[in-house]
Amino acid sequence: MKKRMLLKGTAVLFLVLAVFVSQGMAVELGARGYYWFPHFSGTFRADSNGIEGTDIDLGGDLGIDDRNLPFVEIFAGLGKHHLSFMYTRLNYADSASLPRSIVFLGKTYNAGDLVDTDVNVQMLDFEYQYDLINLENLLAGFSVGVIGKVKYIAGEARLTNLTGGYHESKSFGIPVPMVGAGAHIGLLLNILEARAKIAGIGFSGNWFYEGLADISWTPFPFLDIHGGYRIIKLDLEDVSDVYADFEFSGPYAGLTISF
């Protein structure tokens, strides 16, 4: 599934770029790789056949620890118009003896049972930003724009009771339209720059927001080195009998190659 989603997102971005190029427009094109060090906290609940599940603390109940995570982005720009496609995969797998009894998808996992947990969330972001203010040719540059994006979230949670010899898993997928704002500030000619983005939405008891901010250094043409902070907050209320409250936040390092 990961390969199909990456190929589709990349194909959409390059199709738009092909239209620009065919019209003789100059296009900025680049790719970013990030390595993220987020702290993770959250609860997850899955009901089944009218049986209400437990609000499971993924850290306290299941022993889920923090993981360092990579994510990637392909982007393009044309004047005030900016497009990007980002892929993030969040995978957490740990084993623990349950400190209390829980119910997951109608099955009871008793206190003291040894349980394997695997939580996998994949996020694809298709983003468009239009600069309302663009002073890139003034001093070191400054721009502020509005953002429209669609984030597709696909996830699966799997619990395996090693003591009882059974397992259950639950998958979900949801497209999330979002709006937000982005800003870019040139601090020192084309050598040192800062940027920030935030976007979010709320609907039917569900809400989602995310943001990032970083400073980039350009030691050589076409190459930027980044350091920044990213936060993702997700709250799902009864999406296919799934209830989730996740937060990922922490610093990251990144590398950009652009033309």
What is the tally of structural domains in the chain? 1
Mean pLDDT, rounded, for 129-153: 85
Q: What is the pLDDT of residue 36?
A: 97
Report d(CA 66, CA 71) in Å as an integer.
Answer: 16
In this prediction, residue 2 has a pLDDT band, given cuts at 50, 70 and 90, of: very low
What range does the domain containing 128 cover? 2-258
Asked if 160 and 115 touch (Cβ cutoff 8 Å), the reply is: yes
| CATH code, domain with 127 | 2.40.128
In this prediction, residue 105 has a pLDDT band, given cuts at 50, 70 and 90, of: very high
Asked if 28 and 78 touch (Cβ cutoff 8 Å), the reply is: yes
In this prediction, residue 205 has a pLDDT band, given cuts at 50, 70 and 90, of: confident
Q: What is the pLDDT of residue 252?
A: 98
Tell whether the model's pLDDT for residue 24 goes beyond 60.
no
Tell whether the model's pLDDT for residue 257 goes beyond 90.
yes
Mean pLDDT, rounded, for 91-98: 94
Find residue 168's DSSP bridge partners: 159
In this prediction, residue 145 has a pLDDT band, given cuts at 50, 70 and 90, of: very high
Structure-token match 């669609």, residue found: 150
Mean pLDDT, rounded, for 3-10: 54
Report d(CA 102, CA 117) in Å as an integer.
Answer: 13
Mean pLDDT, rounded, for 112-125: 94
